[in-house]
Amino acid sequence: MRRPLRLLALVAILPGALRAQGALSVQGYGYPTGQLGSASVALGGATGEIDPSSALNPAALSIPSRFSVYMQVQPEYRRTAVGGQADRSTTMRFPSFIVTGGNRRLTAGLSATTLLDRTWSNVYSDSQLVGGTLLPSVLTASSNGAITDARAAIAYWLNARVQVGLGLHALTGENRLSFGRSFDASTGVGGVQQLTTINYSGRAVSLGLIYLPTKVLAVGASARLGGGMEARQDALDLASATVPDRVGVTFAYTGIPNTTIAARFDHTGWSSMRDLGTAQMSVFDANDVGIGLEVVGPRIAGAPSYARLGLRDRGLPFGVNGDKVGERSISGGIAIPVARGRGQFDISLQRAARSAAGAKEKALFLSIGLGIRP
């Protein structure tokens, strides 16, 4: 009953986690995108709890600047160096799609965002002893898929200073894993390839609050409470765990004209997913800290533009050889209004550096979000 999971672990940790998966960021069950909109990415995640285009705080759906439709694309370009060797890879992601609608004090929304992305591919040369002869071979290891957080949420204005929200989450997704070895045709030795698909399902509920104690200060907070989470292969139950709990808080200050300064702290209990894997998989709870600065720019077609800058420091949930992966990043971006303010392009660049177990990784993200208002 546990054999398919052992294959999952094999692809994850052998022949060396970093060598097989080719990147620090996609160990274990994948890379946590943070579920942040492009604007929050540019601000180091600092406005995540008050940003209606970030699917974290359900109360943020009632913010007047929300979009009716929001979509995002976010490719990552990375370089991983370990043991004197370096490898480059690219991952294309579409991490967010949100639809909302409201009537007076009540706003409702549906969203689909990436919780963990596990898309990678690596090919490298190796040798295998066959019948007493050492033969050159090519090893391939790849994974395609992600765990998606589908959320239905509502937000309500209690009064001019307080907004509350409730979200119901269904987590679903799959990992299509492939691991194989091939030999040159001249050797007469056939290759081998093993394929498996692991399906995931889970559930959670989230609660949110936005409080405006003064005209120049906004506080946003939310918590996600995880329910059961299962891994399956076809009709076979492989393992069960719990969707990670999460809590986050944002403080934003607007007392300086045309300027917003924000800071955010987030904690996610990723270790609750440990039972989905094996004892060899390193899983850690993680903190996420970000600060950001936003300045109003010139008006374009009657609507303001924005310039953004942010810093972020966080841990990733899945380690390498028992060592936790840390990620530090600097980011910046702009917001460009279109269609006389009925739409907006949020464009951000994020430069991240990661390290663990003697390996170093640098990554560049380009995040583009398009929001459309009524």
SS3 per-residue string spanning the chain: CCHHHHHHHHHHHCCCHHHHHCCCCCCCCCECCCCCCHHHHHCCCCCCCCCCCCCCCHHHHHCCCCCCEEEEECCEEEEEEECCEEEEEEECCCCEEEEEEEECCEEEEEEEEEEEECCEEEEEEEEEEECCEEEEEEEEEEEEEEEEEEEEEEEEECCCCEEEEEEEEEEEEEEEEEEEEEECHHHCCCCEEEEEEEEEEEEEEEEEEEEEEECCEEEEEEEEEEEEEEEEECCEEEEEEECCCEEEEEEEECCCCCEEEEEEEEEECHHHHHHHCCCCCCECCEEEEEEEEEEEEEEECCEEEEEEEEEEEEECCECECCECCEEEEEEEEEEEEEHHHCEEEEEEEEEEEEEECCEEEEEEEEEEEEEECC
Domain boundaries, the chain: 3-372
| CA atoms lying within 13 Å on the CB side of residue 162 | 3
Q: What is the phi/psi pair of residue 42, to 5°?
A: -60, -30
Length of the chain measured in residues: 374
343 in Cβ contact with 56 (< 8 Å): no
Round to whole Å and give the CA distance between 282 and 292.
31
> According to the model, what pLDDT value does residue 122 have?
74
Chain center to CA of 301: 34
From first to last of the 374 residues of the chain, give the pLDDT tens digit. Answer: 333 333 333 333 333 444 445 578 888 888 999 999 999 999 999 999 999 999 999 999 988 777 799 999 999 999 988 877 788 888 899 999 999 998 889 999 999 999 999 887 777 677 776 766 777 778 787 888 899 999 999 999 999 999 999 999 999 999 888 888 877 777 767 677 788 888 999 999 999 999 999 999 999 999 999 999 998 887 788 889 999 999 999 999 999 999 999 999 999 999 999 888 766 678 999 999 999 999 999 999 888 999 999 999 999 999 888 889 999 999 999 999 998 888 999 999 999 999 988 889 999 999 999 999 87
Residue type, 179: F
> According to the model, what pLDDT value does residue 4 have?
38
> According to the model, what pLDDT value does residue 85 have?
79
Q: What is the phi/psi pair of residue 6, to 5°?
A: -65, -35
Say whether domain 3-372 belongs to CATH 3.40.50.10440: no
Measured CA to CA in angstroms, residue 254 lies from 56, 92, 120, 175, 211 at distances of 22, 35, 41, 43, 14
**Residue in 303, 302, 292 with CA at minimum distance from that of residue 254:** 292
Chain center to CA of 46: 15
245 in Cβ contact with 266 (< 8 Å): no
Is residue 298 reached through a cis peptide bond, with omega within 30 degrees of 0 on the bond before it? no
244 in Cβ contact with 288 (< 8 Å): no
168 in Cβ contact with 152 (< 8 Å): yes
46 in Cβ contact with 290 (< 8 Å): yes
Q: Is the pTM of this model over 0.75?
A: yes
> According to the model, what pLDDT value does residue 175 have?
86
> According to the model, what pLDDT value does residue 10 have?
34
Round to whole Å and give the CA distance between 259 and 251.
14
Tokens 């039972």 identify what position?
275
- Kindly tell me the burial class for residue 104, based on how many C-beta atoms sit within 10 Å of its own C-beta (0-12, 13-18, 19 or more): exposed
> According to the model, what pLDDT value does residue 267 have?
98
